[in-house]
Amino acid sequence: MTASDTIVAIATASGRGGIGVVRISGPDIAPYISGLIGKSLQPRYASHVRFLDEEGAILDDGVALYFQAPNSFTGEHVLELQGHGGAQVLQLVLERCLRLGARLAEPGEFSRRAFINGKLDLAQAEAIADLIDAGSREAARSAVRTLDGAFSRKIDHLRDGLIHLRMLVEATLDFPEEDIDFLEQADAWGKLDAIQASLADVMAQAHQGALLREGLNVVLIGQPNVGKSSLMNQLAGYDAAIVTEYAGTTRDTLREAIQIEGVPIHLMDTAGLRDTEDPVERLGIARTWAVLKKADIAVLLIDANHGIGEKEEKIIAELPDIPLLTVHNKIDLAGEEPKTSKHGLEIWISAKTGAGIPALRHQLLELSGWRSQGEGAFIARARHMDALRRAREHLESASQAGRQLEFFAEELRLAQEAVSEITGEFSSDDLLGVIFSQFCIGK
């Protein structure tokens, strides 16, 4: 793969459609314009044309758009051919481009060229794929904010602050006659506090975006016959799980995807946790503990008629270190009303009647750290959160360095590198390969 190649791909989804698009990008696409269309095109104007084969026969009738470098998505010359959306006719146009010398684009190669040519940074490039894959309106809006540069501007502000602070510290190292008083007069430690506060704000917003993109893994656990399957059906809005009065009905992990305020929730109903000699049920219980290791929140259901007993306490003691929401179910049989404890970690509901379910939904989001904030979130990936966490750790180490200015300067440098990874200002070719390989062909 080289930037000197001319690349081509079908940019619309496979299958039948009213319109199909073939996209071409490269350093010189004049041969493709003359070979496919047979006449010149005015840049940035839509022209009604016929797409021709090598003998001048018509392949399709459509619209051609020519974008002259650098005023295009990729920063190169781009030709977009909009024809009819049939699979065969698009393939004919694609094959004609290949015969003219173009190479079939790799996944994400158009976006990668846009990144390399400075048309967008790495966070914006990833937002293109996230916008396409968005599973809710909120996720789509957040992806658009990132694509528009909201996330990148926050990162640039952090980077600029770190660069300025590094300049002050390293100037002191270069000129030892200027003692520590220089940094104190320049309020270096105050500037560090301000950067840490800005980073905390960015992390909070990025966490919201990460929830929108990745979703939340919620596992329902408890003794057999406490209503886990009934609760799953209530949250899902239909009978996703079999419900009977017999204990041990659920023997395997059932998964269901729901949304709460646009946040994807990966809900898992599990086998009841108890001592049993049934080999099939024991296998289901083992799978319950396995999924708990990857869970974001554990929801422990108990029968409101008897509350937390010795068996429930044993389950709680063996849980991994994740947030726990205790749900007292069957309040319709216990004669109780729906309510939530002051600390919010216990809630009383009826999975049968639906009483208390809205409060339960709200509490799941509270435990996840989600805050409804309208247009405030921007989409974020796991690698973004990892880079921000590393930056926070380096800034904490810098604040603890005190008058050891060499250590102070080094931690600031590492923090700057971490935040720069997000926009691709500091990144390896291997990282770029992994990121863009997950894109669609034609993007």
How does DSSP assign 298-356, residue by residue?
Answer: EEEEEETTT-S-HHHHHHHHHS-SS-EEEEEE-HHHHT---EE-TTSSEEE--TTT-TT
SS3 106: coil
**Average pLDDT of the segment spanning 10-17:** 85
Q: Which two tokens stand for residue 94?
A: 């694609």
185 or 359, which is more confident? Answer: 359
429 or 51, which is more confident? Answer: 51
**Average pLDDT of the segment spanning 80-109:** 93
Residue 442: band (very low, low, confident or very high) from pLDDT cuts 50, 70, 90: low
147 or 277, which is more confident? Answer: 147
What are the domain boundaries of the chain? 7-120, 128-211+381-424, 215-368
Residue 415 CB neighbour total at 10 angstroms: 28
Ranges of H-type helices in 7-149: 30-36, 87-99, 109-116, 122-133, 137-147
Q: Which two tokens stand for residue 257?
A: 């995807």
Phi, psi for 114 (deg, rounded to 5): -60, -40
Range scoring the smallest mean pLDDT among 137-146, 202-211, 229-238, 408-417: 229-238
Output the pLDDT for position 53.
92
Residue 427: band (very low, low, confident or very high) from pLDDT cuts 50, 70, 90: low
Q: Which of 96, 92, 103 is nearest to 36 (CA)?
A: 96
Q: Which run of H or E residues covers position 105?
A: none
CB 324 within 8 A of CB 344: no
Q: Report how far apart the first and last C-alpha atoms of the chain are (Å, whole number).
A: 16
- pLDDT per position as a tens digit, 229-288: 888 888 877 555 444 443 444 444 677 888 888 888 888 877 665 555 555 556 766 677
Residue 114: band (very low, low, confident or very high) from pLDDT cuts 50, 70, 90: very high
CB 36 within 8 A of CB 63: no
What average pLDDT does the structure give for the chain?
A: 84
Does 128-211+381-424 match 7-120 at the fold level? no
- The pairing of strands 263-269 and 58-67 is unpaired
Q: Is the pTM of this model over 0.85?
A: no
> Distance between CA 298 and CA 300 in Å, rounded?
6
CATH 3.30.70.141 fits 215-368, yes or no: no
> Distance between CA 222 and CA 350 in Å, rounded?
15
**Average pLDDT of the segment spanning 120-143:** 87
Positive or negative: CA dihedral 108, 120, 148, 64:
negative
Output the pLDDT for position 251.
43
Class of domain 7-120: alpha beta
SS3 248: coil
Fold of 128-211+381-424: Four Helix Bundle (Hemerythrin (Met), subunit A) (1.20.120)
**Average pLDDT of the segment spanning 423-441:** 66
pLDDT of 162 higher than 50: yes
Q: Which two tokens stand for residue 248?
A: 């041990």
The residues near 354 (Cβ < 8 Å, ≥ 6 apart) are 234
The residues near 305 (Cβ < 8 Å, ≥ 6 apart) are 330, 333, 334
**Average pLDDT of the segment spanning 154-161:** 94
The residues near 285 (Cβ < 8 Å, ≥ 6 apart) are 271, 272, 273, 274, 276
Range scoring the smallest mean pLDDT among 340-344, 410-414, 438-442: 438-442
Q: At which residue do the structure tokens 């250590």 appear?
A: 407
Residue 179 CB neighbour total at 10 angstroms: 11
Output the pLDDT for position 241.
45
Sort residue 261 into left (φ over 0), alpha (ψ -120 to 50) or beta.
Answer: left
pLDDT of 44 higher than 80: yes
DSSP category for residue 101: T
Phi, psi for 353 (deg, rounded to 5): -95, -20
**One-letter amino acid of 56:** G
pLDDT of 412 higher than 80: yes
Q: Give the 3-state secondary structure percentages of the chain, helix then strand then coil, rounded to 5.
A: 45, 20, 35
DSSP category for residue 378: -
SS3 58: strand
pLDDT of 289 higher than 90: no
